[in-house]
Amino acid sequence: NAGVTQTPKFQVLKTGQSMTLQCAQDMNHEYMSWYRQDPGMGLRLIHYSVGAGITDQGEVPNGYNVSRSTTEDFPLRLLSAAPSQTSVYFCASSYGSGNTIYFGEGSWLTVV
Amino acid sequence: GESVGLHLPTLSVQEGDNSIINCAYSNSASDYFIWYKQESGKGPQFIIDIRSNMDKRQGQRVTVLLNKTVKHLSLQIAATQPGDSAVYFCAENSNNNDMRFGAGTRLTVKP
């Protein structure tokens, strides 16, 4: 079972470049979300979606955009990369808020 | 504001011993808790969960204890093995709001 699939695994960007982190899940989950994980800190919510066509901001949304055109896909776009966005990014999904969250394997992003 | 945290950032145990990893939470309205295991270079993996109407839940070699009086959560791993070496963190959820995560405890198992 694929679960939550993220690509790319690793990426190096120059400051000011844009890119999209892809995320797909095959569990028919309505709820999808993006987190970033920084050393010494817990996972922080960037954006989330409670269903196709609906997105909302999390704790640290600045510099990121998302869309949810289908139930399966939830891409995260960095509009103009900054060194502060160097982090590990995790996509996650669940049946709904308040249910177990399943994570992808992560995307390691470095902005130079 | 409300926060989820851990008492210890690192824990080192001998193979075969039991491990106890602790987590404090401050939101008394939290009603759902999860423990995750994260191995190096991988995503967090669900271990066990517990809802606030319970104070103990057991899985395979793992037990989660919830003390709502002092807002404390613990994960007990029996007969710790080298494969248990990882970062463990807790997460809390209240009123179906977004899950909040602790920073994690790094468990090292010595042979």
Picking from A26, A24, A14, the residue whose alpha carbon sits closest to that of residue A75 is A24
In this prediction, residue A42 carries a pLDDT of 86
- What is the predicted pLDDT for the residue at B52? 94
CA-derived radius of gyration, chain A = 13
CB contact under 8 A, A42 and B32: no
* B30 to chain A: closest CA residue: A98
How far is A96 from chain B, CA to nearest CA, in Å? 8
* Beta bridge partner(s), residue A54: A51
Q: Checking DSSP bridges between strand A54-57 and strand B45-51, what pairing results, if any?
A: unpaired
Q: Tell me how far apart the alpha carbons of residues B98 and A105 are, in angstroms, rounded to a whole number.
A: 20
Name the residue with tokens 């395979």: B60
Token pair listed for A27: 């569990």
Biggest CA-to-CA distance, chain B:
43
| A40, A42, A48 ranked by CB distance to B101: nearest | A42
pLDDT mean by block of 10 residues, chain B; 111 residues: 51 96 91 94 95 96 96 97 96 81 93 90
Over range A23-46, report the average pLDDT: 93
Q: What is the mean pLDDT of residues A94-102?
A: 86
CA–CA distance, B104 with A20 (Å, rounded to integer): 28
Arithmetic mean of pLDDT, A61-82: 97
Whether the per-residue pLDDT at A67 is higher than 70: the answer is: yes
pLDDT recorded at residue B1: 31
Q: How confident is the model at residue A1 (pLDDT cuts 50, 70, 90)?
A: low
